[in-house]
Structure 1
Amino acid sequence: MCGLLALLTARGDAPEFTDAVGRSLQCMYHRGPDAAGTWNDGDAVFGFNRLAIIDIEHSHQPLRWGPADNPERYALTFNGEIYNYVELREELQAAGYAFNTEGDGEPIVVGYHHWGANVVEHLRGMFAFVIWDTETRTMFAARDQFGIKPLFYATTDKGTVFASEKKSILEMADELGLGLGLDRRAIEHYVDLQYVPEPESLHEEIRRVESGCTVTIKPGGKVHSDRYFEPHFDSQPVPKGKEQDLYDRIARALEGSVEKHMRADVTVGSFLSGGIDSTAIAALAKRHNPNLLTFTTGFEREGYSEVDVAAESAEAIGVEHIVKIVSPEEYADAIPKIMWYLDDPVADPSLVPLFFVAQEARKHVKVVLSGEGADELFGGYTIYKEPLSLAPFEKLPSALNKGLNRLSRVLPDGMKGKSLLERGTTPMEDRYYGNARSFNFDQLQRVLPWAKREWDHREVTAPIYAASTDMDPVARMQNLDLFTWMRGDILVKADKMNMANSLELRVPFLDKEVFEVAQTIPFDQKIANGTTKYALRKAMEQIVPPHVLHRKKLGFPVPMRHWLAGDELFGWAQDTIRESLTDDIFAKDQVLEMLKEHRDGVSDHSRRLWTVLAFMVWHGIFVEHRIDPQIEHKDYPVEL
């Protein structure tokens, strides 16, 4: 788990950029405080910050490897973990290749020499990496199947740069001649969805390599992208009486994944909330580490904490448990720092307590496991039950359906049945765009007067829906969330908040072998008996304590609604809006009016307000340079 930077120059002047690369690494010190280094030849320069987890004494990067006739043909810089690296090394050694380290990075570059671009099909793990071939003068880069690890890039007439964090590219803007204009389309997508969807970033000239994609580029050329992983939920009916076979397959796959994710030369802990996902991971991890430490966080406000449930779970599975309580003051003070770490804003209030629990965990361990991805793979969001409740509408004649839809739109807001009628007569492609449903278009135009309908969420979701027409309704929603909410929100906050604290987060649910089982689960094994993730719950009956097994999903409860209406955050929010130099983006008078309506109880605008406030803080840091995020930049020697 580290921070990488790779620059392919267009004019063969890589040595001239070495100092700039070394300086830009400082922005990612938090991703790899254990070691740093740069390497260059005529066309390429690599930089790397290392968080040493496996083969600590060796496996330094940028890593050089090559066959016997050209032993330094390739250079690799790699962020992530390959959990089947032992098996890959054995397979490649049997094919006649020699290794110089015991780490998990070298099998990538040896595999690239052996399989070419298809090496990604052999990797089980989370990764973003760049390989430079000094012989063919070709740069090859890739991201893991689900997008667990980030990879930004930008191209100018001076070259193309890849980096784990956007801020390192921004740091090199002058040397690269990189424009720093904001992308209006990406801004609208952010406000609409609460995150910036891939491959966009809020800066026009900086993009992201998408999850499950590889890219190739030659000096002076353009980035060519190929998708190697297209998730598909191919639901398969379970014969009556054979349900337990499915549950056993799920349990075996997850246990095997956790076992692989425990591979490390440092101590591995686990996050633990009040839900089934993290509890299942912690319980399985305990089998491989009897002294497992678990961590959770909560708030001072009663009713907004899963601390008690997590403590009960920790006692039931027999692990030592550590709790971090976050106060409103800590929350507000950390926001600028967190927006700096994020690179682009994510309007999810739960990322703040995640930052604090990661900070606490880093005092004790260097790696933690967590339960991200279970909801998307196994059907865990409450909204996934909606196709059942709306099924009767599918039987209505088309003309009647359209008429009822028109009627629903003229009914008064808040009228009983209005929402059900409107959603039931609206096609899924128009009504569901992931878990980020804060603004309708009228509300969006209230705060973004320049918003365009052709730039709304459908621009992001339409291609994903078009590829899922053969899936059942829940599978279509899961597939959408895999490409939107999960990689735009869930995995961004997981990576950035943990790496901000030099803590490696591993997510055993997001494993290729777990997905191979999850993608086959039929509709009636995801949503059944009034609950979600039914098959997963059945698979975990002998692993997860009973008080958690059928507990209703709560997400991560943050008292944002109360704080923005009360003394805790109202004043801070008001000052943030007034001081922000975003008058050309937001209708600030309307945002202030929404804040007043929220305080007065007219309407709950908490998520909408938080979306705008997060952007304003981000803008104050990266555009206005008015807000100091109070980051302690560490200086360290860079070995050339």
Structure 2
Amino acid sequence: MPVVCGLLGLLTGNASAPEYVDQVAKASDLMVHRGPDEPGTWHDDDIVVGFNRLCIIDIAHSQQPLRWGPAEAPDRYALVFNGEIYNYLELRDQLARDEGAVFHTEGDGEAIVAAFHHWGVDAVRRLRGMFAFAIWDTVERSLFLARDPFGIKPLFLATGPGGTAFGSEKKSLLDLLGPLGLGDELDRRAIEHYIELQYVPEPETLHRDVRRLESGCYATVRPGSHPQVHRYFTPQFRTRPLGDGAHQQQRFDEIAEVLSDSVAKHMRADVTVGSFLSGGIDSTAIAALAIRHNPDLITFTTGFERDGYSEIDVAVESAEAIGARHVVKVVSPEEFVGAIPEIIWYLDDPVADPSLIPLYFVAKEARKHVKVVLSGEGADELFGGYTIYKEPLSLAPFERMPGFLRGAAGRLSERIPEGTRGKSLLHRGSQTLEERYYGNARSFDDARLRSVLTDYRPEWTHTDVTAPIYATSQGWDPVSRMQHLDLFTWLRGDILVKADKMTMANSLELRVPFLDPEVFRVAEQLPVDAKIAHGTTKYALRKALEGIVPPHVLHRRKLGFPVPIRHWFAGPELYDWARETIDESRTDDLIDKRFVLRMLEEHRAGTVDNSRRLWNVLMFMVWYGIFVDGSIVPTIEHTTYPVRL
């Protein structure tokens, strides 16, 4: 099976696809980093597709687009595919046994197409993996698009009078807006959402005419029509009591078994598989299980020279404990700043998470040794790992108050001076869960948002994003509702975007065994006291990993990925760069640059920690310089930029 890590297609509405073959090929070149092994194009009268293959499984075969069909029409379907199907061997056996399907390669691509032929759209529910793919049916003249349940792999869409374009990266679609009869206008509401939340929430992008197919969705489209989008997967937290004694231990054992099985399947490859390793329990668990299948496992970590901003020592100790060879990448301030334009180019839309920069560098280091790495993303959302998930317990007394008392607590909090102990507790306790929890990050409160945006619209708020999600979790316990919200917001808006983009930038495939349908099936049943208990988070997961994860990590406090931007913005590492970026930015019609400069000076003086807010706005300014006004031209070694046609 290949991983076609860069797919691109143009479905025309008037049988004019052959006219655009060269244009699609050039636009596809913008994402050659996603699959440098085998680039190419294919077309018929209605559709042209471009693809860039990164060979992982069945390296000598499974070229793209993959043609497959039944005996009476052997080339009926054309597949372009980004991802991995980890249960493809089982699917191939089932399809051959039950449906009489015949296969001509050893890869998973044929399993997808054969499943679609025999099972229709229900095929996507049987795929265990990460994927974004397109299947063109040459008989029905219809296109089927699908994306994995959690949104591990991206898929962008644009539809206009000239047809529909789809692809793995937005930058390539921007080069096809002309044939579609579309423009490249910005989406101001999406910009406001980004500034508020630090990421662009699905299905939006910062360009009005380019959207994303959401996680857990598929779409069908015919020439001359608009895509019809359907959701096939909605995560549900159907909790049941943990039990006690032997029953409780059985639940812990079930977690360990399903995670071990997921890691085993994620290790399937015809190339060497490594593993990222930080100082936390999630990546350590994955590496400890992976080394059972590859005794020569190489693990990778990154950090900074500044004290308190590195988990390298813990990661080295963990690697020694499990017997892995370990590689370390230390990122200097100069490397950090110098890579920002290139990284923003790879991102397509900004993500204001500074940890993606060290992730980019550790991926670059890992690619010198392996083509595939495992990582621990998703464990916090599935098993209750964020400290904020403890908040409903501390606010439980407020939930029992009559409404007028909660309102009084909120009004009292407004009169308490900033920084006074208890002010935040009163304020948050007076709010409902829907009012106070908007996911794991909100850079700007309403007052600052109004100050930083030149055209602030109070009706464009985070509730645009969160309200529909909360509406589907009525009656659940508050912790499950918070996890559910994060699956649709922070996970797919930040965590998985940076994981995909920073590894693919280095032609490295990242696999996430926690984000597996079978692992989720076990995790969704865990009650609150299996997540937040005994003063810790991920309680059940920690119990399940006893004897697998080294003791020095098992109960270690979650730190996230510390990046020293708070110190660097106040010093020579980032201050001068930030000042120059603000001064030269041409975003005056969107951003109040005087307010941003004031935030920078406040931060330098030490009166307010504005580091995350500054990082947020500066990433947008760099993005604008690259993708809007062209004042910033990043150095991209493996392609010619820009290719805008």
TM > 0.5 fold call? yes
Residues 319-344 of structure 1, C-alpha deviations (whole Å, 9 max, x = no match): 00000000111000000000000000
The yes-or-no answer on 1:627 pairing with 2:632 is: yes
The answer to whether the 8 Å contact 2:149/2:215 transfers is yes
Q: 1:40 Cα deviation (Å)?
A: 0.7
The answer to whether the 8 Å contact 2:454/2:589 transfers is no
Match of 1:618 among 593, 602, 623: 623
Distance 1:385 1:304 in 2: 25
Equivalent residue letter for 2:627? F
Distance 2:613 2:527 in 1: 35
Distance 2:570 2:461 in 1: 29
The yes-or-no answer on 1:528 pairing with 2:533 is: yes
Match of 2:308 among 293, 296, 303: 303
The answer to whether the 8 Å contact 2:439/2:489 transfers is yes
Alignment of 1:166-565 (within 5 A): 166-241=170-245, 242-565=247-570
In the alignment, which residue of structure 2 is the partner of 1:36? 39
Q: 1:142 Cα deviation (Å)?
A: 0.3
The answer to whether the 8 Å contact 2:582/2:618 transfers is yes
Match of 2:78 among 58, 75, 91: 75
Q: 1:439 Cα deviation (Å)?
A: 1.2
Equivalent residue letter for 2:185? G
Tell me, what secondary structure is at the counterpart of 2:335? helix
Alignment of 1:30-179 (within 5 A): 30-94=33-97, 95-179=99-183
Match of 1:594 among 586, 591, 599: 599
Q: 1:37 Cα deviation (Å)?
A: 1.5
Q: 1:611 Cα deviation (Å)?
A: 0.4
In the alignment, which residue of structure 1 is the partner of 2:27? 24
Tell me, what secondary structure is at the counterpart of 1:199? coil
Task: Report the TM-score, using the length of structure 2 for normalisation.
Answer: 0.98
Residues 51-99 of structure 1, C-alpha deviations (whole Å, 9 max, x = no match): 0001000000011111111111110000000000101111111121111
Distance 2:300 2:19 in 1: 46
Task: Report the TM-score, using the length of structure 1 for normalisation.
Answer: 0.98
Residues 521-572 of structure 1, C-alpha deviations (whole Å, 9 max, x = no match): 0000100011000000000011000000000000000001000111100000
In structure 2, the gaps of 5 or more residues are 641-645
Distance 1:100 1:8 in 2: 27
The answer to whether the 8 Å contact 1:7/1:44 transfers is yes
Residues 383-407 of structure 1, C-alpha deviations (whole Å, 9 max, x = no match): 0011111111112111111011111
Distance 1:430 1:443 in 2: 18
Distance 2:142 2:574 in 1: 51
The answer to whether the 8 Å contact 1:212/1:228 transfers is yes
Equivalent residue letter for 1:414? G
The answer to whether the 8 Å contact 1:348/1:489 transfers is yes
Distance 2:174 2:463 in 1: 30
Q: 1:36 Cα deviation (Å)?
A: 1.1
In the alignment, which residue of structure 2 is the partner of 1:638? none
Distance 2:458 2:124 in 1: 38
What is the percentage of aligned positions where both structures have the same residue?
68
Distance 1:90 1:234 in 2: 31
Distance 2:181 2:405 in 1: 58
Tell me, what secondary structure is at the counterpart of 1:215? strand
Does 612-621 or 239-248 show the bigger shift? 239-248
Equivalent residue letter for 2:114? V
The answer to whether the 8 Å contact 1:447/1:590 transfers is yes
Q: 1:603 Cα deviation (Å)?
A: 0.5
CA RMSD of aligned residues (A): 0.8
Q: 1:410 Cα deviation (Å)?
A: 2.2
Distance 1:41 1:416 in 2: 67
Tell me, what secondary structure is at the counterpart of 2:373? strand
The number of residues matched between the two structures is: 635
The answer to whether the 8 Å contact 1:275/1:548 transfers is yes
Q: 1:411 Cα deviation (Å)?
A: 1.4
Q: 1:357 Cα deviation (Å)?
A: 0.1
Equivalent residue letter for 1:25? S
Name segments (4+ residues, structure 1) moved above 6 Å.
none
The answer to whether the 8 Å contact 1:20/1:175 transfers is no
Tell me, what secondary structure is at the counterpart of 2:487? helix
Equivalent residue letter for 1:576? T
Distance 1:629 1:177 in 2: 28
The answer to whether the 8 Å contact 2:286/2:374 transfers is yes
Distance 2:428 2:397 in 1: 12
Q: 1:438 Cα deviation (Å)?
A: 2.0
Distance 1:460 1:511 in 2: 25
Q: 1:239 Cα deviation (Å)?
A: 2.2
Equivalent residue letter for 1:488? G
Distance 1:152 1:332 in 2: 29
Tell me, what secondary structure is at the counterpart of 1:36? strand
Distance 2:529 2:242 in 1: 9
